[in-house]
């Protein structure tokens, strides 16, 4: 059925509202990849089985990731007229207990993460109240959504629907205000007005470059030619960043709607989504969403009966990091190897098949419907002077609360790591936070009060990138981290520019020498010099930013490099050639666990005799540390 | 070798040159890897130089020119997994399976590969076996996990 009239629209909306807020109990399981990898599918199956077996009046459904991945699998229960409650770390057994006791009033506050008494719809600004008659006494102890530290500072624009709606239901997307912005612009706005609105919002590209989105659209619209392309970059290659996956899996329609709006503004009739092959679930959800959008006449010919045509094709990437670069991505879409080209002519003028092409990333597209719905003034009030709106960060690594956080630009790193992230687990000390993926850098503790926006991060030698934020503690070696990134980049360098291909290789070799105990005086200076050459003489951003992880760690953690080179010592206890595992006889209880687990028979000892490690045999795999319950194994 | 399936995949993509990456992906999904004869056949059928097909098949990480085992293990070496010990998970698998990364076990049971990020960064270290993702791994759990794959 194609949507043609506002009545058609209303019918779908009502269908969606019934699904979203049924007049009974609804249970949703977070079924994004992060949920599934911790057992969400088993939880979902167990719930279905229990509900069917006991004939419970409960609808079991699925949703995307609500961001608090640390707590996965997450189950969300909503009873009509009562608060919606989130439960974390669910198992099939716990989930069954939860629903089977639900009608007896067992709300199990101890398992609950938080509750929603109401929900703010970011597209309309409306407040939807879950509670009709106050909060039930048993639920009072459960903290409210905006009271728990993880969510307190968050403002969800790009992630607005993830973990709220069923990504496979276009009706739910419409019910929550979806495709209204598209409807609005097609019936009330000229393409130039849409561009003006996006320009005024101050939205900058969320994929890493930070180029003003509206300006890009305008350049593409004004470029010579009759055929234009709109492309969504969903080749989220930065290791440590996964917001695009979450949006594609949890709210694919927001990206499609953004793209159709962009296509109308730019004057394009064909679009592409280039999505990572490593994200099979995202591809699947995206395909399903696209089919539904086509059925309803929201993508394809004569959209919403307005005569505007725009079709979208989904292409799977080939697992090449460099294809996240716009010209390489376009080469790949053309069926070539993903090698970047010089950009003296921009892709907005000559991109895919040498036609004007506008490329934005997933998170950027997902922002568009909200900007249209709420207006540029509203959007521009969020954030800092030159970085407007919010940014999604994947807060991962050595931090207590890992997950996706969407915060207004300008928030400090300290607030993200300590207030939202809950600091470093295990009582260890913070060492650095790595932002910007392999193009970014490591930021030390002294700069934690830095407000996060595009320009400030660049000033300190890192960058916003796509929003990966990997926290490291004192047990992470910064030389090892630098080597890790350079190893990644030498592997992913397409090989076109000698400086990048050979430079990253040579930098890797030097770093490998340093971590293997073969470091020499002058190595640091050589790395700096090589870094400069690679940066200045490579064509694309991969090479142009490749030295950042090395240069920033040298800048802020030079002492660690020196310890490796001068003293042949790895202060963090990571680099295998420079460390030794030993067992503290005072702490050892001679339980024998480590001896049993040691793969190289390096541990000897007997009952009641403290164990020892034979350094000749030890392969430094760390099995003994994992096995020891008494912290008797130490690294020196 | 029977090329009927390969021909039908090429046909589904309209024999268009720009589709060659997608075509190779679909063929690999069907055949588990890209054999030399398959690449030659694709080049001939699509009238594009074999060198170009070969270049694409070797440029992109998803393609394998060697037969893979019955089960494909992909250990994530993304940054978040790295700082939480992803490399150790890989080393443990290398020891247990007696292969190094990129290789297939002698009995064709497992192929051990690595991937730069699976986007499950909050649950690292992570690996994927035959499309199923396992998170929060340590060396002990990873050894036991593989028993379910024969």
Q: What is the CATH number of the domain that holds B143?
A: 3.40.30.10
What is the band of A607 on the pLDDT scale with cuts at 50, 70, 90? confident
Looking at domain A178-378, which CATH architecture does it have?
A: 3-Layer(aba) Sandwich (3.40)
Largest CA distance in chain A: 84
Cα separation, A171 vs A175, in Å, equals 6
A485, two tokens? 């990134």
Q: Interhelix angle for A180-188 vs A362-374, to 10°? A: 60
Compute CA A249 distance to the chain's CA centroid, rounded to the nearest angstrom: 12
Q: What is the pLDDT of residues A289-330, one digit of tens each?
A: 999 999 999 999 999 999 999 999 999 999 899 999 999 999
B122 to chain A, closest Cα gap in Å:
5
Same domain, B47 and B95: no
Contact between A622 and B85 using a beta-carbon 8 Å cutoff: yes
**In this structure, is residue B15 part of a structural domain?**
yes
**In this structure, is residue B50 part of a structural domain?**
yes
Q: What is the pLDDT of residues B14-53, one digit of tens each?
A: 888 899 999 999 999 998 899 999 999 999 999 999 999 9
Q: What is the pLDDT of residues B66-121, one digit of tens each?
A: 999 999 999 999 988 998 889 999 999 999 999 999 999 999 999 999 998 888 88
The reported pLDDT for the residue numbered A83 is 95
All residues at 6 or more sequence positions from A397 whose CB lies less than 8 Å from its CB, including other chains: A240, A434, A469, A470, A471, A472, B79, B80, B83, B84, B121
Compute CA A40 distance to the chain's CA centroid, rounded to the nearest angstrom: 19
**In this structure, is residue B66 part of a structural domain?**
no
Q: What is the pLDDT of residues A90-121, one digit of tens each?
A: 999 999 999 999 999 899 999 999 999 999 99
Cα separation, A48 vs A59, in Å, equals 9
Domain segments of chain A as ranges: 18-152, 178-378, 390-473, 478-566, 580-635
Whether A460 has a pLDDT exceeding 90, the answer reads no
Cα separation, B147 vs B133, in Å, equals 15
Residue B113 sits in which domain range?
71-148
Looking at domain A478-566, which CATH architecture does it have?
A: Up-down Bundle (1.20)
Whether B1 has a pLDDT exceeding 80, the answer reads no
CB of A261 within 8 A of CB of A369?
A: yes
Residue of A nearest to B117 (CA): A239
Pick the CATH number of A580-635 from 1.10.3720.10, 3.30.70.20, 3.30.1330.100, 3.20.20.100: 3.30.70.20
Q: What are the φ and ψ backbone dihedral angles of A212, each rounded to 5 degrees?
A: -60, 120
Size of interface A-B (CB pairs under 8 A): 155
Contact between A236 and B119 using a beta-carbon 8 Å cutoff: yes
All residues at 6 or more sequence positions from B59 whose CB lies less than 8 Å from its CB, including other chains: A318, A320, A337, A338, A494
Residue of B nearest to A333 (CA): B18
Average pLDDT over residues A615-636: 90
A368 to chain B, closest Cα gap in Å:
24
**In this structure, is residue B53 part of a structural domain?**
yes
Nearest to B68 by CA among B35, B97, B91: B35
**In this structure, is residue B65 part of a structural domain?**
no
Nearest to B3 by CA among B56, B29, B39: B39
Q: What is the pLDDT of residues A529-561, one digit of tens each?
A: 999 999 999 998 889 999 999 999 999 999 999
- Nearest by CB: A470 against B80, B91, B140: B80
Pick the CATH number of A390-473 from 3.40.50.11260, 3.30.50.10, 1.10.600.10, 3.10.20.600: 3.10.20.600
Complete DSSP assignment for A509-540: HHHHHHHTT---TTHHHHHHHHHHHHHHH-SS
The reported pLDDT for the residue numbered A462 is 83
Whether A611 has a pLDDT exceeding 90, the answer reads yes
What is the band of A208 on the pLDDT scale with cuts at 50, 70, 90? confident
Same domain, B89 and B118: yes
B1 to chain A, closest Cα gap in Å:
26
Average pLDDT over residues A331-349: 92
Same domain, B87 and B34: no
Q: List the single best residue of B12, B79, B126 to mutate versus A (max A Cβ within 10 A).
A: B79
DSSP type of residue A180:
H
Contact between A627 and B136 using a beta-carbon 8 Å cutoff: no
CB of A274 within 8 A of CB of A229?
A: no
Same domain, B40 and B89: no
B52 to chain A, closest Cα gap in Å:
8
Average pLDDT, chain A: 94
Q: What is the pLDDT of residues A387-439, one digit of tens each?
A: 999 999 999 999 999 999 999 999 999 999 999 999 999 889 999 999 988 88
Contact between B25 and A398 using a beta-carbon 8 Å cutoff: no
**In this structure, is residue B41 part of a structural domain?**
yes
Contact between B61 and A470 using a beta-carbon 8 Å cutoff: no
pTM here is 0.94
Same domain, B105 and B131: yes
The reported pLDDT for the residue numbered A314 is 96
Judging contacts by C-beta atoms under 8 Å, the chain B residues touching residue A278 are 115, 117-119
Whether A237 has a pLDDT exceeding 90, the answer reads no
Average pLDDT over residues A502-510: 97
CATH 3.40.30.10 given to domain A18-152: yes
3-state secondary structure of A11: helix
3-state secondary structure of A156: coil
The reported pLDDT for the residue numbered B150 is 82
Same domain, B46 and B90: no
Same domain, B79 and B137: yes
Judging contacts by C-beta atoms under 8 Å, the chain A residues touching residue B60 are 318-320, 337-338
The reported pLDDT for the residue numbered A233 is 97
- Nearest by CB: A70 against B25, B122, B138: B122
Whether A270 has a pLDDT exceeding 90, the answer reads yes
Contact between A72 and B115 using a beta-carbon 8 Å cutoff: no
- Nearest by CB: B135 against A38, A437, A488: A38
Percent of chain A with pLDDT over 70: 100
Compute CA A268 distance to the chain's CA centroid, rounded to the nearest angstrom: 29
- Nearest by CB: A242 against B56, B121, B136: B121
Domain count, chain B: 2
A581, two tokens? 């595992």
The reported pLDDT for the residue numbered A17 is 94
Same domain, B47 and B75: no
CB of A68 within 8 A of CB of A166?
A: no
Kindly provide the ipTM of the predicted complex, given to two decimals: 0.94
Query: Looking at per-residue confidence, does A25 or B2 come out higher?
Result: A25
CB of B31 within 8 A of CB of B41?
A: no
What is the band of A159 on the pLDDT scale with cuts at 50, 70, 90? very high
The reported pLDDT for the residue numbered B137 is 92
Contact between B80 and A239 using a beta-carbon 8 Å cutoff: yes
Q: List the single best residue of A66, A239, A270, A274 to mutate versus B (max B Cβ within 10 A).
A: A239
What is the band of A1 on the pLDDT scale with cuts at 50, 70, 90? confident
């Amino acid at each position: 059925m194609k949507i043609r009239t506002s009545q058609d629209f209303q019918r779908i909306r009502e269908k969606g509202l019934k699904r979203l807020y049924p007049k009974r109990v609804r249970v949703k399981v977070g079924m994004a990849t992060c949920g599934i990898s911790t057992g969400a599918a088993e939880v979902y199956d167990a719930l279905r089985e229990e509900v069917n077996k006991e004939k419970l009046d409960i609808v079991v459904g699925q949703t995307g990731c609500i961001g608090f991945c640390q707590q996965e699998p997450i189950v969300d229960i909503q009873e009509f007229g009562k608060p919606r409650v989130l439960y974390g770390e669910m198992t099939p057994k716990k989930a069954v207990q939860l629903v089977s006791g639900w009608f007896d009033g067992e709300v199990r506050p101890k398992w609950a993460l938080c509750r929603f008494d109401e929900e703010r719809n970011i597209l309309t600004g409306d407040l939807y109240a879950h509670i009709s008659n106050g909060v039930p006494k048993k639920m009072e102890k459960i903290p409210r959504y905006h009271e728990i530290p993880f969510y307190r500072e968050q403002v969800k624009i790009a992630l607005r629907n993830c973990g709220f709606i069923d990504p496979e239901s276009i009706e739910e997307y419409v019910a929550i205000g979806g495709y209204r912005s598209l409807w609005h612009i097609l019936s009330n706005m000229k393409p130039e007005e849409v561009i003006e609105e996006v320009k005024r919002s101050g939205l900058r590209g969320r994929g890493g470059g930070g180029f003003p989105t509206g300006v890009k659209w305008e350049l593409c619209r004004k470029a010579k030619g009759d055929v234009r392309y709109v492309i969504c970059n969903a080749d989220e290659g930065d290791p440590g960043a996964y917001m695009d996956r979450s949006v594609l899996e949890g709210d694919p329609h927001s990206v499609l709607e953004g793209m159709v709006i962009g296509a109308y503004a730019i004057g394009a009739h064909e679009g592409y989504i280039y999505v990572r092959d490593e994200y099979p679930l995202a591809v699947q959800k995206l395909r399903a969403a696209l089919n539904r959008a086509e059925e309803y006449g929201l993508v394809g010919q004569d959209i919403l009966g307005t005569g505007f045509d725009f079709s979208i094709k989904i292409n799977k990437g080939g697992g090449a990091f460099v294809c996240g670069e716009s010209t390489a991505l376009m080469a790949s879409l053309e069926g070539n190897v993903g090698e970047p080209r010089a950009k003296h002519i921009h892709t907005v003028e000559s991109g895919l098949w040498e036609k004007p092409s506008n490329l934005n990333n997933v998170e950027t597209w997902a922002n568009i419907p909200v900007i249209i719905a709420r207006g540029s003034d509203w959007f521009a009030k969020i954030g800092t002077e030159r970085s407007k709106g919010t940014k999604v960060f994947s807060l991962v690594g050595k931090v207590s609360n890992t997950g996706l956080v969407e915060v207004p630009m300008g928030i400090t790193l300290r607030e993200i790591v300590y207030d939202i992230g809950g600091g470093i687990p295990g009582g260890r000390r913070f060492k650095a936070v790595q932002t910007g993926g392999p193009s970014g850098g490591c930021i030390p503790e002294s700069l934690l009060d830095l407000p996060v926006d595009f320009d400030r991060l660049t000033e300190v030698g890192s960058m916003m990138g796509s929003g990966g934020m990997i926290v490291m503690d004192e047990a992470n070696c910064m030389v090892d981290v630098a080597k890790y990134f350079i190893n990644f980049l030498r592997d992913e360098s397409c090989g076109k520019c000698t400086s990048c291909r050979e430079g990253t290789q040579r930098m890797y070799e030097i770093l490998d020498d340093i971590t293997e105990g073969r470091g020499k005086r002058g190595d640091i200076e050589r790395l700096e010099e090589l870094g400069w050459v690679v940066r200045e003489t490579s064509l694309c951003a991969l090479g142009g930013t490749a030295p950042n992880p090395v240069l920033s760690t040298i800048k802020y953690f030079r002492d660690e490099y020196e310890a490796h080179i001068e003293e042949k010592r790895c202060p963090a206890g990571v680099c295998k050639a420079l460390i030794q595992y030993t067992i503290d006889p005072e702490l050892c209880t001679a339980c024998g666990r480590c001896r049993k687990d040691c793969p190289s028979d390096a541990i000897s000892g007997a009952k009641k005799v403290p164990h020892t490690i034979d350094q000749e045999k030890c392969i430094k795999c760390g099995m003994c540390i994992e096995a020891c319950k008494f912290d008797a194994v130490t690294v020196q | 070798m029977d090329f009927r399936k390969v021909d039908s995949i090429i046909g589904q993509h309209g024999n268009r040159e720009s589709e060659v990456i997608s075509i190779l992906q679909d063929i690999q999904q069907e055949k588990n890897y890209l054999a030399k004869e398959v690449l030659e056949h694709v080049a001939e059928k699509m009238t594009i130089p074999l060198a170009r097909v070969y270049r694409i098949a070797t440029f992109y990480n998803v393609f394998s020119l060697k037969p893979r085992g019955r089960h494909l293990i992909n250990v994530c070496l993304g940054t978040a997994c790295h700082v939480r010990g992803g490399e150790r998970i890989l080393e443990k698998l290398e020891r247990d399976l007696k292969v190094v990364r990129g290789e297939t076990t002698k009995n064709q049971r497992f192929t051990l590969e690595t991937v730069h990020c699976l986007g499950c960064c909050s649950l690292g270290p992570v690996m994927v076996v035959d499309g199923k993702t396992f998170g929060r791994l340590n060396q002990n759990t990873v050894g036991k996990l593989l028993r379910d794959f024969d």
